[in-house]
Amino acid sequence: MSSRIKAVVVLAVIVIAGGGYYFWSQKSGGDDAAMTIQFRSNSWDTFTSVEISPAGADTFVSMPLTDGTMKPAEVLPYEIADGHNICNYDLRATKEDGSVGTYDNVNLCENTFYHFEEAGFE
């Protein structure tokens, strides 16, 4: 076999192996498992707390808010470390008056944004 043919075969093997690894890493999460969601308040009120938990787990974690609040129409980018492996989350937001809005089983993989609406607050 000529050296030119050997070089082409080696190059083909490298390309195929690299492509296979790329698709495998995408499917299993790889380095791209994190995702950033843009949360937005569609409420007229200021939120004092916004929390997230994997659906049904009841392990809420507070999202860091600018100046400790989320103002009306403000957008809050939040990175979910294991975002592409877990899609459904429970969300909770608290207004300044103490009313709490809960949003259960929200699929955050479908969109890169989520808007908190007035419906759901008690």
More confident call, 24 vs 102: 102
pLDDT value at residue 49: 97
Residue 111 gets which letter from DSSP?
-
pLDDT digits (tens, 9 = 90+) for 36-84: 999 999 999 999 999 999 999 999 999 999 899 999 999 999 998 876 6
Question: For 33-116, which CATH class?
Answer: mainly beta
Nearest Cα residue to 50 out of 4, 5, 106: 106
- Say how far apart CA 12 and CA 25 lie, in whole Å: 20
pLDDT above 70 (res 89): yes
DSSP, collapsed to helix, strand or coil, labels residue 26 as: helix
Q: What is the 3-state secondary structure (H, E, C) of 3-25?
A: HHHHHHHHHHHHHHHHHHHHHHH
- Rounded to 5 degrees, what are φ and ψ at 121? -90, 140
pTM beyond 0.95: no
Could you tell me how far CA 119 lies from the centroid of its own chain? Answer: 22
CA 60 to chain centre: 15
